[in-house]
Structure 1
Amino acid sequence: MNFSSYFATPDFQAFALHLLISIETPIHLFATFCILFKTPISMKSVKFQMFNLHFWSIGLDLGISLLTIPYFLYPALAGFPLGVLNFFEVPVRCQAFLLGVLIGLLGVSIVTILENRYYLLFGVRGHWWRHFRITFLVLNYVIACVYFYPAYYYVPDQKQALQEVFEMLPELPKELQTSKIFVLATDFRFIVLPVFFMSTLLLLESGIFTFLIYKNMSAQSKELSLSPQTIKMQKQFLRALNIQTCIPLAILLIPLCYLVISRVFLIYNQVANNFCFITIGAHGLFSTLIMLYIHIPYRNFCVDKLCSKVPGFKRRTSRVVQLFGSL
């Protein structure tokens, strides 16, 4: 393989992610304004958690598309960064650790929103959970900050590791063989096991809180301890939150599935590698756009203030809302 395709080059990777962050930044800033100043009183209890999720989503976008810009030689756990931190000579292992932490903190922020909903609805008065929730949340954030440490600590000897990479990828272009390639790991356990542990923990916690929320709402609906209007509003918010988080995660499954297949069959395709990380870098953009649309107060503000001069936009938007149902 050689650089016969521009899409396989480091220049394309850097250009694409720079372009992406230039598009994302104004949208992220606008969404931040909406959360801070356009969140209605009815959503006040979740305002901080919404901002927390949005903050770490921005952090991951900046981490991938500006600070590090990873050029990954998958299926080998090797590559080199092209981002701003590279110009400040920040060690590559530290840049990889930063991305791992940002991914963990983004996942914990999703759990935090679900926990907040459960606590406000069912755990405020006389419930045992209110005595443990702070410890639970702090522990989650601590785990997110340290789970990737094995990958940081067990970085292999680079000379020997590079030789293994060249043996694994004999078709590696000459242009890359002479680059400053950094090998994060030769033993996948130091990467896979921490990531698997963190992913399982976050999915388990999210599933438990979602189940408990719906279970308790159903029980209190039967007991008439919550009004039908309150239950309807809470279900609407949970549906909106599920869509806001699940659709971007579903988009991430495409590059993640390819990376798994690439590793199993030892497929090296640099064009696919580049587009995988570009897709991952676009996660925050999808999440922000969905948030602005799926939550009614933000959607109304966008339509009223930003799109009022576009002929027929309000009419077309209302038809879309009617088609898919207002959340």
Structure 2
Amino acid sequence: MAYCSPTDQLSYLDTPEFYYIALHFLGFIAIPLHLFGAYCIMFKTPSSMSSVKPSMLNYHFWTFIVDLVFSILVCPYFIFPVFGIVPLGILQQLGISVPIQMYITFTAAVFLFFSGVLILENRYVIITNSNKTWRRLRVPWLIGMGIYAVLVFLPVYLNIPEDQKSAKQVAYEKNCLFIQKLPCLLPEIRSAALFIIAEDFLVTYFSGMVMQLIVLMHSLIFSGYTHWTLKKESSRLSNKTLKLQKQFLRPVYIQMAVPVFTLQAPLVFIGIEYVLKFHTQTWNNLGFIAFSSYGFISTLFMLSFHSPYREFLFEAICSRTGVKKIRAVSSNIATRNSNLTVCI
């Protein structure tokens, strides 16, 4: 089997070593931040936000798990478009089979997506307290979403080729119909190290995209109904209540929406590679490093945009550095957020 074209030029950014070091470095930075974020949610969430604490903690838990899986436990080095994987993490060293590692990786990502939907659903339930129809449907919906998250990638897991030598040959032949060459594989990942997840990359790719469309649809529905209810009930609710709801929703949207780019960008890029018939392992590596940084970025956004956590963070920084702190309030900021602690 030909792995390389004479025109291929490899750089350090193509290598598993770079990918492994980058993910581990990111993981060891992210883990302390995740623990600090969990502490803030559990002990620094004000009483006015207590109703959303469980859903926020659930979302934070899954961002932490996905970061842990991608950066330390599995460290999946992906080879596209053949949909091959080389696990570089701790689970591989412990002898855990590659199919199980793959299933853990994909399922954790699905639960991360759905945990974000649960925050929006929880806010919808709180605001539409009188919606008896949804309260009856809520438990079956939650059970259904949980079952779907567990099963969505089970067919991929069950159809992983047992004969890997044959699978590599089939994947090579199929993809040669679309591109002129497979990515040039380094000596250390040839032969047994490269594990083919699926002979047909496109089917698995579209399965993942359908899952994301389901998540997007639910997110838009809950967000839309929440805003519609707030607008409808604005005459009944006090200005303070409306203000608190909007102050909570704005940071939540930012926390979840902005880092989503780090999730979607590499997936979209892989699709473009497939359609336009080109491949670059460097950009694939960088894309999945960005993918694994989602939890880290999301936690940074949470600490930055939720004022109670931001206040506690500033106070912690000030106390650790031994500098004085003051309470600074401007007329514009005061209308939207609580007082800001500023170190001087």
Q: TM-score under structure 2 normalisation?
A: 0.86
Q: Which residue pairs with 1:84 in the alignment?
A: 90
Q: Of residues 124, 135, 138 in structure 2, which corresponds to 1:133?
A: 138
Instruction: Confirm or deny: 8 A CA contact 2:34 2:299 kept in the other structure.
Output: yes
Higher helix residue share: 1
Residue identity opposite 1:207 in structure 2: L
Structure 1 residue matching 2:77: 3-state secondary structure: strand
1:192 Cα deviation from its structure 2 partner: 2.5
Q: Which residue pairs with 1:206 in the alignment?
A: 219
- In 2: Cα distance, 1:126 partner to 1:92 partner: 46
Unaligned runs of 5+ in 1: none
Q: Of residues 243, 250, 256 in structure 2, which corresponds to 1:245?
A: 256
Mapping of residues 289-308 of structure 1, within 5 Å? 289-307=300-318
Q: Which residue pairs with 1:271 in the alignment?
A: 282
Q: Which residue pairs with 2:184 in the alignment?
A: 172
Instruction: Confirm or deny: 8 A CA contact 1:154 1:190 kept in the other structure.
Output: no
- The 1:227–1:260 alpha-carbon spacing in structure 2 relative to 1, beyond 3 Å, is same
- The 1:204–1:4 alpha-carbon spacing in structure 2 relative to 1, beyond 3 Å, is closer
Instruction: Confirm or deny: 8 A CA contact 2:55 2:119 kept in the other structure.
Output: yes
Runs of 4+ in 1 over 6 A off after TM superposition: 311-315
Instruction: Confirm or deny: 8 A CA contact 1:3 1:9 kept in the other structure.
Output: no
Structure 1 residue matching 2:233: 3-state secondary structure: helix
Instruction: Confirm or deny: 8 A CA contact 1:255 1:280 kept in the other structure.
Output: yes
Structure 2 residue matching 1:172: 3-state secondary structure: coil
- In 2: Cα distance, 1:235 partner to 1:19 partner: 36
- In 1: Cα distance, 2:146 partner to 2:28 partner: 29
Instruction: Confirm or deny: 8 A CA contact 1:150 1:190 kept in the other structure.
Output: no
- In 2: Cα distance, 1:109 partner to 1:178 partner: 38
Unaligned runs of 5+ in 2: 339-344
Which deviates more from structure 2 when the two are superposed, residues 43-52 or residues 251-260?
251-260
- Number of aligned residue pairs: give it: 323
Q: Which residue pairs with 1:150 in the alignment?
A: 155
Q: Which residue pairs with 2:20 in the alignment?
A: 14
Q: Which residue pairs with 2:196 in the alignment?
A: 183
- The 1:243–1:174 alpha-carbon spacing in structure 2 relative to 1, beyond 3 Å, is closer
Instruction: Confirm or deny: 8 A CA contact 1:155 1:184 kept in the other structure.
Output: yes
Residue identity opposite 1:258 in structure 2: F
Instruction: Confirm or deny: 8 A CA contact 1:118 1:209 kept in the other structure.
Output: yes
- The 1:127–1:89 alpha-carbon spacing in structure 2 relative to 1, beyond 3 Å, is same
- The 1:171–1:67 alpha-carbon spacing in structure 2 relative to 1, beyond 3 Å, is closer
Q: TM-score under structure 1 normalisation?
A: 0.91
Residue identity opposite 1:248 in structure 2: P
- In 2: Cα distance, 1:76 partner to 1:53 partner: 32
Which deviates more from structure 2 when the two are superposed, residues 177-186 or residues 280-289?
177-186
User: What does the per-residue CA deviation read over 1:197-231, in whole Å, with 9 as the maximum and x for residues that have no partner?
Assistant: 3112111111100000000110111xx21112111
- In 2: Cα distance, 1:159 partner to 1:69 partner: 23
Structure 1 residue matching 2:258: 3-state secondary structure: helix
Residue identity opposite 1:183 in structure 2: I
Q: Which residue pairs with 2:342 in the alignment?
A: none
Report sequence identity in percent. 36
